[in-house]
C-alpha cells in the first residue's frame, strides 16, 4: 500500500491564493491517476485564524475515493471533526495509532508548549515493538538543525536522541516549508511556495508500506519562486560572463519555456563592476520574459564600481580558493555567498 503525505498548505480564501488550492488539487489528481487512496496532511493545512473550510471541503468531495487524514499544526489547532465536514475527511486532535496495511502510523497533532517526545512516550504501550511510522508537526533538532525562518522559536520539537530511542522507521514531519531530509526524518515542505523565500520546485511524499521506502513526487504549481544572486568581479568581459551565468541559472531551474509565466523572480547583482549600467542592462535582457516578485526589478544596490585590473585578478583568485577550499558552508558556518561578499569587500574597500 502507498500512502501520500504533504503539509503546510496554508489555505485561506481561494481568491487570495488560488495557487495553494491548485497545488493541493494537483496532489489529489496525481493520487487519483495512480489509484492512491490515502493522503496525510501533517499540519498547517489552513493559514492562521482561518475559519471558513467550505472550499477545502468542496475540493475533497471531488475525490471521494481518497481519504484525507488531517493532523492539526500550530496554525490550525482549532480544527476538529465538529467543524470540518466531509465523508472522506478525518481530523485527529489527539495522538492516534492508525494502521495502513500492516504498518502502524502514529499521528501526533501539534500541542502548544509541548515536546513531541512527551506525546510519543504517552503512546508507548500501543506502539509496542512493531515497526511504525511517526507523522507529526514540529521542529527537528539533530545534527544540522533545520528551522522555519517564517516562525522563529521552538514548535513542539523532537531531538535526534529521542528519535533514536523511540526508533520509528521514519518520521514524516510538517512545519518546515522547504523539502528537507536527514537520516530517518523527512519534511515534504509546502506543496506551493508561500513567498519569494520558498524557492524551487515543490514536492509531496509517498510512503510504500511494502518496503518502507519513501519517494518524492513533484507538485505542478501555478507559481514558482526563484531567488538568484550574481557576484560580479570587474573585468573587460564582465558583462558577457554575467549573461552566460544567467543562462546557466535558468537552465538549472528546470523550467520549460511554456511555463516561464508561472515563475516569479528576485534578482540581485553584488560585488564590483567596471560598468554598472551594462550589468543592469544584462540582467534585464537576460531575464526578459520572467516576472519579478512584486515588480521589484533587478537590484544592483550592492554593486559598486571599480576599474583596477590588479584587484580584479586578486578577486578572481580569491573566489577560486574559496570554492576549492575545505570550508563547510552552512549550519553554524557562514554561507558561501556571505564569505565571497566579505572577501570582495576586503579586497576592494581596504
pLDDT at 331: 66
204 and 228 fall within a common domain: no
Cα distances from 63 to residues 31, 59, 60, 140, 305, in angstroms, run 10, 7, 5, 33, 58
147 and 266 fall within a common domain: no
How many domains is the chain partitioned into structurally? 2
Choosing from 199, 219, 239, the residue where a domain stops is 219
255 and 215 fall within a common domain: no
48 and 173 fall within a common domain: yes
181 and 309 fall within a common domain: no
Q: Nearest CA to 173 among 131, 248, 246, 119?
A: 119
307 and 207 fall within a common domain: no
CB 203 within 8 A of CB 176: no
Burial class (CB in 10 A: 0-12, 13-18, 19+), 160: middle
134 and 211 fall within a common domain: yes
Q: Give the up-direction half-sphere exposure of residue 140: CA atoms within 13 A in the CB hemisphere.
A: 26
Residue 46 has pLDDT above 90, yes or no: yes
Question: How large is the angle between the packed helices 336-349 and 309-324, nearest 10 degrees?
Answer: 150
Range of the domain at 85: 2-219
Distance (Å, whole) CA 259 – CA 169: 38
292 and 309 fall within a common domain: yes
Residue 175 has pLDDT above 80, yes or no: yes
10 and 115 fall within a common domain: yes
36 and 152 fall within a common domain: yes
pLDDT at 50: 87
Question: Which CATH number covers residue 48?
Answer: 3.60.21.10
Give the contacts of 234 (CB within 8 A, at least 6 positions apart). 272, 273, 274, 305, 306, 307, 308, 309, 311, 312, 315
37 and 165 fall within a common domain: yes
For the segment 103-129, what is each residue's pLDDT rounded down to a tens digit? 999 999 999 999 999 999 999 888 888
pLDDT at 143: 52
pLDDT at 145: 58
Distance (Å, whole) CA 111 – CA 114: 6
pLDDT at 12: 94
pLDDT at 235: 80
pLDDT-derived band at 350, boundaries 50, 70, 90: low
Residue 149 has pLDDT above 70, yes or no: no
pLDDT at 146: 63
The whole-number average pLDDT for the span 6-26 is: 96
Residue 163 has pLDDT above 70, yes or no: yes
Amino acid at each position: 500500500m502507498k500512502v501520500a503525505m504533504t503539509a503546510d498548505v496554508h489555505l485561506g480564501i481561494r481568491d487570495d491564493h488560488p495557487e495553494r488550492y491548485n497545488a493541493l488539487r494537483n496532489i489529489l489528481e496525481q493520487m487519483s491517476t495512480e489509484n492512491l487512496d490515502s493522503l496525510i496532511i501533517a499540519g498547517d493545512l489552513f493559514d492562521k485564524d482561518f475559519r471558513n473550510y467550505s472550499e477545502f471541503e468542496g475540493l475533497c468531495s471531488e475525490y471521494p475515493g481518497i481519504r484525507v487524514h488531517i493532523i492539526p499544526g500550530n496554525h490550525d489547532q482549532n480544527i476538529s471533526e465538529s467543524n470540518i465536514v466531509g465523508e472522506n475527511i478525518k481530523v485527529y486532535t489527539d495522538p492516534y495509532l492508525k494502521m495502513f496495511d500492516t504498518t502502524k502510523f502514529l499521528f501526533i497533532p501539534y500541542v502548544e508548549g509541548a515536546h513531541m517526545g512527551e506525546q510519543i512516550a504517552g503512546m508507548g504501550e500501543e506502539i509496542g515493538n512493531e515497526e511504525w511510522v511517526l507523522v507529526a508537526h514540529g521542529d527537528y533538532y539533530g545534527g544540522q538543525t533545520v528551522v522555519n525562518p517564517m516562525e522563529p522559536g521552538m514548535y513542539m520539537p523532537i531531538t535526534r536522541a529521542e528519535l533514536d530511542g523511540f526508533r520509528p522507521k521514519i518520521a514524516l514531519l510538517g512545519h518546515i516549508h522547504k523539502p528537507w531530509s536527514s537520516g530517518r526524518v523527512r519534511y515534504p515542505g509546502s506543496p506551493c511556495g508561500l513567498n519569494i523565500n520558498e524557492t524551487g520546485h515543490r514536492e509531496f511524499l509517498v510512503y510504500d508500506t511494502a518496503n518502507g521506502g519513501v519517494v518524492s513526487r513533484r507538485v505542478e504549481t501555478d507559481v514558482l519562486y526563484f531567488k538568484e544572486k550574481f557576484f560580479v568581479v570587474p573585468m573587460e568581459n564582465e558583462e558577457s560572463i554575467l549573461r552566460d551565468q544567467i543562462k546557466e541559472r535558468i537552465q538549472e531551474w528546470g523550467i520549460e519555456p511554456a511555463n516561464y509565466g508561472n515563475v516569479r523572480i528576485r534578482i540581485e547583482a553584488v560585488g564590483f563592476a567596471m560598468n554598472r549600467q551594462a550589468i543592469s542592462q544584462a540582467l534585464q535582457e537576460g531575464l526578459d520574459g520572467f516576472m519579478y516578485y512584486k515588480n521589484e526589478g533587478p537590484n544592483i544596490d550592492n554593486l559598486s564600481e571599480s576599474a583596477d585590473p590588479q584587484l580584479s585578478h586578486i578577486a578572481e583568485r580569491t573566489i577560486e580558493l574559496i570554492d576549492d577550499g575545505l570550508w563547510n558552508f552552512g549550519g553554524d558556518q557562514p554561507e558561501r555567498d556571505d564569505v565571497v561578499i566579505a572577501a570582495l569587500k576586503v579586497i576592494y574597500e581596504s
